[in-house]
């Protein structure tokens, strides 16, 4: 549990300075230690949104909503992911 907390805090620190790839990596390491902790999934989803990885963000939010079906952050970030996917789809159609 101590290692999990350390990795999560490191991930949070990376988010604060805008290092989203590094933060996502830390959250992924957290998941190996505790796959049921929803906050690391919603945090990683935030990172993926910032990195324009909308499908990955959606998947993380879907996972959280399977565990906690009323998680507001997961609903919000999944909506942002869907929005990003729609914009990307429209842009691809225009090419």
Domains recognised in the chain with CATH numbers: 1-93 (1.25.40.10)
pLDDT score at 1:
85
What's the predicted TM-score (pTM) here?
Answer: 0.90
By C-alpha distance, which of 28, 37, 32, 24 is closest to 74?
Answer: 37
What does the pLDDT look like over 34-72, one tens digit per residue?
Answer: 999 999 999 999 999 999 999 999 999 999 999 999 999
pLDDT score at 93:
61
Q: What b/e sequence results for 28-52 when a residue is b if at least 16 CB atoms lie within 10 Å of its CB, and e otherwise? A: ebbbeeeeebbebbbbbbbbbbbee
The answer, yes or no, to whether residue 95 has pLDDT greater than 60, is no
| Furthest-apart CA atoms within the chain: distance in Å | 50
């Amino acid at each position: 549990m101590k290692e999990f907390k350390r990795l999560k805090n490191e991930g949070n620190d990376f988010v604060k300075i805008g290092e989203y790839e590094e933060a996502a990596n830390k959250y992924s390491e957290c998941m190996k230690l505790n796959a049921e902790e929803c906050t690391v999934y919603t945090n990683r989803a935030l990172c993926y949104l910032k990195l324009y990885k909308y499908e990955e963000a959606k998947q993380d939010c879907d996972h959280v909503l399977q565990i906690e079906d009323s998680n507001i952050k997961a609903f919000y970030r999944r909506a942002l992911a869907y929005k990003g996917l729609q914009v990307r789809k429209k842009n691809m159609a225009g090419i």
